[in-house]
């Protein structure tokens, strides 16, 4: 089995991520288009690289914006093959965490914020607009002997101000729900009623 067949076999496990077979076929085609396109790796260039530049693009764009599927589940094949990649069943799993900034020119794009330009010189800090992401990769050492580890990405999540606000909002919602559950407990209500009767 060559490299292309092995990669296609890994993509076959994505069928459980999508609710329809045609959605999986569209995602598989766009993935091969991103690998083979030149210059910018965009949805439009992936469509052109897959030979569909003269057909309607709306279905491909809806796959990336409206279709109900979880992007983080695309990394499940790596976790499924992780035991065979480790040196032993008791070997520790080592991961590397890094952040990256995707530059943007529009200030009204959701999640865009001003950040330090990583290409700015050390003697002068330049600022730019961009989307900040966090990437988590598992480091796998070769079985044959000592050598450089291979990084396998397993997570790529937004880490901008909007994502932080959403996480903060979910934390506040869970805290409010916990407080309401505590206040609505039978013993709590009885205690409030008894204190109200004593004060009256």
Q: Tell if the pTM clears 0.75, that is, is over it.
A: no
What is the rounded distance in angstroms from the CA atom of residue 15 to the CA atom of residue 8?
Answer: 12
Per-residue model confidence (pLDDT) at position 170: 61
Look-up of token digits 């700015």: 120
What distance in Å separates the CA atoms of residue 99 and residue 71, rounded to the nearest whole number? 18
Tell me the longest C-alpha to C-alpha distance in the chain: 84
- Tell how strand 150-158 and strand 94-103 pair up: unpaired
pLDDT at 25: 93
Q: What is the pLDDT along the chain (200 residues), one digit of tens a residue?
A: 688 888 888 899 899 899 889 999 999 999 999 998 888 888 999 999 999 999 999 999 999 888 788 888 898 888 888 888 887 778 888 889 888 888 888 888 878 888 888 889 989 999 999 888 888 998 988 877 777 888 988 888 888 666 555 655 665 565 566 556 555 555 544 444 444 445 44
| Helix ranges (DSSP H) in the chain | 3-12, 21-36, 43-49, 58-65, 76-80, 82-85, 161-183, 186-199
29-60 as b/e: b if 16+ CB within 10 A: bbbbbeeebeeeeebebbbbbbebeeeeeeeb
CA 147/CA 142 separation, integer angstroms: 6
- Asked if residue 76 lies in contact with residue 82, where contact means CB atoms within 8 angstroms, the answer is no
- Return phi, psi of residue 197, to 5°: -70, -40
pLDDT for 45 equals 92
């Amino acid at each position: 089995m060559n490299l292309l067949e092995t990669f296609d076999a890994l993509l076959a496990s994505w069928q459980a991520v999508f609710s329809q077979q045609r959605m999986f076929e569209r995602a598989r085609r766009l993935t091969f288009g991103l690998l083979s396109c030149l210059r910018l790796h965009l949805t439009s260039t992936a469509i052109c690289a897959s030979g569909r530049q003269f057909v309607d693009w709306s279905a491909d764009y809806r796959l990336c914006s409206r279709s109900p599927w979880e992007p983080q589940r695309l990394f499940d094949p790596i976790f499924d093959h992780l035991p065979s990649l480790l040196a032993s069943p008791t070997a520790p799993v080592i991961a590397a965490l890094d952040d990256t900034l995707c530059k943007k020119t529009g200030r009204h794009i959701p999640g865009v914020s001003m950040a330090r330009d990583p290409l700015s010189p050390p003697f002068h800090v330049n600022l730019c607009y961009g989307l900040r992401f966090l990437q988590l990769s598992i480091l796998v050492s070769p079985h044959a002997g000592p050598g450089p580890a291979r990084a396998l990405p397993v997570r790529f999540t937004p880490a901008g101000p909007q994502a932080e606000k959403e996480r903060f909002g979910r934390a506040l919602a869970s805290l409010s729900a916990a407080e309401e559950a505590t206040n609505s407990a039978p013993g709590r209500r009885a205690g409030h009623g008894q204190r109200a009767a004593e004060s009256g």
